[in-house]
Structure formats: C-alpha cells, structure tokens
Amino acid sequence: MSEPFLESRIMYQCVKCGRIFEREKLSKIAETQCPFCGYMVIKKAKSPTAKLMKTSELGKDSSASFFES
C-alpha cells in the first residue's frame, strides 16, 4: 500500500498557464481543472531530479564491425 506522503508529492502542471501545483490543490469535483486559471487540461509535471542511466558498452567492443564503413 502506498504512503499518503508519497501520493501527495505528485506534482501537476497546467497546460495553459504553466503553473505547477500539488495534488492537494485539485478539488474532488473538478480533478482535471487548474486551480489557478480554471483551464481543463493538466499534466503530471516532470521531476526536478535527474535519473542516472547506464549507457551501452556496444561501441567499445572492437568485434562489432557494423560501425565501420
């Protein structure tokens, strides 16, 4: 079961005005309406932290001849 703290940290962004707000700002009646400008389209905002991804080591392999022309 998810914790209420993590669920409340989901951030949303209005497509029209660009303001970012938490899930708590959304009303139960209009869950897709911006609380600031009233526009009816919102999206989940991207996290301000970056994700670290491991890169492929395929290019470092000398036996991979398909990179040569």
14 is in an annotated binding site: no
The terminus-to-terminus CA distance of the chain in angstroms comes to 54
Strand-pairing partners, residue 13, are 20, 43
Query: Distance (Å, rounded) from C-alpha 44 to C-alpha 5?
Result: 17
Annotated binding site: 17, 34, 37
Annotated binding site for Zn(2+): 17, 34, 37
